[in-house]
Amino acid sequence: MPKLLRAVRLDDSDDHVFRGCGAAAEGEPVVTAGFAICDFSGERSCDPSCHCEASFMAVGSKARCTIAEVAEAADAEWEAQVDALAWQLVRGWGAPSWDAARVVAEAEMRHTAEVCETLAAGSWITVKREPREGGREVEEQYSVYDRLMVGAHSL
């Protein structure tokens, strides 16, 4: 069973940070989205900033989140998310065809599953992207956290 990512919303801070592209809803499927980042070697092209250097992107939209939770997914759910991402690439990103978008979407979902592969379901992760020397390539670093059990601890 593959593991994928879902958006985590601890408060409304993502609404403020991602006001330009929208904040992903709690539990919304997200991908690592390394394909959807600004060119770090030059001027940022989005205003307000999409904060792509430290965010994940929703499968069905360009909405973003800063924290994602690892979740197990059935094969049918994985396929549905690939299709949703492919449609987003066609509608929102101008992919040249459904077939081309499906190939990219499947590769992105596979990469997201690989990031999650060794992590326990329920773990939270964040991402930090920085340009490598030379500027064109980007290095991704993931930090993993135990899920915060808000309200589960006695005071």
In tens, the pLDDT along 66-100 reads 999 999 999 999 999 999 999 998 998 888 999 99
Alpha helices in 2-148 (DSSP H): 13-17, 75-93, 98-116
Residue 35's pLDDT is what? 63
Q: Judge whether 81 and 113 are in contact, CB under 8 Å.
A: no
Residue 127 lies in a domain: yes
Residue 118 lies in a domain: yes
What residues make up the domain containing 79? 3-145
* pLDDT above 90: percentage of residues in the chain: 52
Q: Is residue 150 part of a domain?
A: no
- How are the residues of the chain apportioned to helix, strand and coil, as percentages rounded to the nearest 5? 30, 25, 45
Q: Please, which pLDDT band fits residue 151 given cuts at 50, 70 and 90? A: very low
Whole-angstrom distance, CA of residue 109 vs CA of residue 115: 10
Q: Is 155 a member of any domain?
A: no
Q: Are 104 and 48 in contact (CB under 8 A)?
A: no
* Number of domain units in the chain: 1
Stated pTM of the model: 0.83
Least confident of 29-43, 67-81, 112-126: 29-43
81 assigned to some structural domain:
yes
Please indicate, yes or no, if residue 51 is contained in any of the structural domains.
Answer: yes
Question: Mind listing the pLDDT tens digit for each residue in 133-150?
Answer: 766 677 889 999 987 665
- CB atoms under 10 Å from CB of 108, counted, come to 23
